[in-house]
Amino acid sequence: MSNDFATVPEQEPDIAAIQAAAARIRPFVRRTPVVSDESLDEQFGGRLFFKCENLQRGGAFKLRGASNAICSLTEALAARGVATHSSGNHGAALALAARQRGIPAVVVMPENSSAVKLAAVRSHGAEVILCPPGRIAREAALAALIARRELHVIHPYDDYRVIAGQGTACLELIEEHPEMDIVLAPVGGGGLLSGTAIAARGLLRRVRVIGVEPEQADDAWRSFKSGERVLLDAPDTVADGLRSSLGARNFPIIRRCVDDIVRVSEDGILRATRLVLERLKLLVEPSAAVVVAALLEERLDIRGRNVGVILSGGNVDLETARWLRSSP
């Protein structure tokens, strides 16, 4: 892949890069609404502004980063086609963005991906290659794929173009609500959190940016607290979009621009997912609901604050989502 790097930015994005990404992807992504609910504000004591990336095309924020990466490709790189590994949402987003540009896409996905996510990737015209679950297996499968075929890899989070794209959700949120004191985002591989942090710090002087992670996949928390990037192989959490470990490019940004990372329990995640459905009338993935879980479990104090929440996605397999069926 070394020849790719000549054309791929190897400099951390700043706020200008996120603004450029926003202009580049505007025709391909939705400007998602921001919603509020007085009953939740009362319950948690702050004013909450939910940026609804579950209403994004493809059902998640991932289209922002994928579109920015695909739109940034030279004609020569684009002609080779693109590949990635993904537990689902990035794969679907890359497939959608690639189809928009008319280039082939191949997505390596774990065999235990939800049926909804597999179907979404295929419905956008991408080729799917299944691999065993876990970080090591999926990285090996992607490496084997690009050894055979000359595809350009767009990593789901460890890529500056992707990071800049993901930051555009927070950019839009703060453009509409510049009064934000705190911004909350889930953290898996760190694409969303690093982009969010760059956007928030670039626009607001005194904002706090906090990442939220499942206790059962707490590599980002461990990395943040120890100062050393910790990798987990196949953590088990209902927040399936957050099983990835922090990327090499994401970690330094998060160390520098994020104020804290807090962890939430599985039970809290399930209760939060239901709460968002019941009160906000929004279907979100458990991976998106972790930020609300942090409020429910009092891991964060937001009293008197204006708080932006990136609701990252809403791709749920209704047939198997046990949290829909009964109170946890």
Residues that bind a copy of itself (CB under 8 A): 30, 33, 35-36, 38-39, 52, 54-55, 57, 59, 123, 274, 277-278, 280-284, 314, 316, 318-319, 324-325, 327
Q: How far is the CB of 164 from a copy of itself (least distance, A)?
A: 25
Q: How far is the CB of 318 from a copy of itself (least distance, A)?
A: 6
Which lies closer to a copy of itself via its Cβ, residue 148 or residue 325?
325
Q: Which residues of 136-149 are buried (b: 16+ CB within 10 A; e: fewer)?
A: ebbeebbeebeeee
- Tokens standing for 312? 């990252």
For residues 174 and 143, is the Cβ–Cβ distance under 8 A?
Answer: no
Q: How far is the CB of 322 from a copy of itself (least distance, A)?
A: 11
Q: How far is the CB of 67 from a copy of itself (least distance, A)?
A: 14
Q: How far apart are CA 79 and CA 325, in angstroms?
A: 46
- Tokens standing for 216? 């059962």
Which lies closer to a copy of itself via its Cβ, residue 73 or residue 276?
276
Q: How far apart are CA 154 and CA 69, in angstroms?
A: 7
Q: Is 227 exposed, middle or buried (0-12, 13-18, 19+ CB in 10 A)?
A: exposed
Q: How far apart are CA 287 and CA 117, in angstroms?
A: 14
Which lies closer to a copy of itself via its Cβ, residue 247 or residue 313?
313
β-partners of residue 183 are: 209, 308
Which lies closer to a copy of itself via its Cβ, residue 279 or residue 299?
279
Q: How far is the CB of 281 from a copy of itself (least distance, A)?
A: 4
Which lies closer to a copy of itself via its Cβ, residue 125 or residue 132?
125
Which lies closer to a copy of itself via its Cβ, residue 280 or residue 294?
280
Q: How far apart are CA 273 and CA 266, in angstroms?
A: 11
Q: How far is the CB of 285 from a copy of itself (least distance, A)?
A: 9
- Tokens standing for 75? 């004609």
- In this structure, the number of other CB atoms found within 10 A of the CB of residue 289 comes to 30
Q: How far is the CB of 227 from a copy of itself (least distance, A)?
A: 38
Q: How far is the CB of 101 from a copy of itself (least distance, A)?
A: 16
**Position of tokens 């691999």?**
131
For residues 183 and 177, is the Cβ–Cβ distance under 8 A?
Answer: no
Q: How far is the CB of 89 from a copy of itself (least distance, A)?
A: 13
Which lies closer to a copy of itself via its Cβ, residue 137 or residue 277?
277
Between CA 69 and CA 220, with CA 111 as vertex, the angle to 5 degrees is: 55
Q: How far apart are CA 293 and CA 304, in angstroms?
A: 19
Which lies closer to a copy of itself via its Cβ, residue 55 or residue 77?
55
Which lies closer to a copy of itself via its Cβ, residue 32 or residue 223?
32
Q: How far apart are CA 34 and CA 173, in angstroms?
A: 7
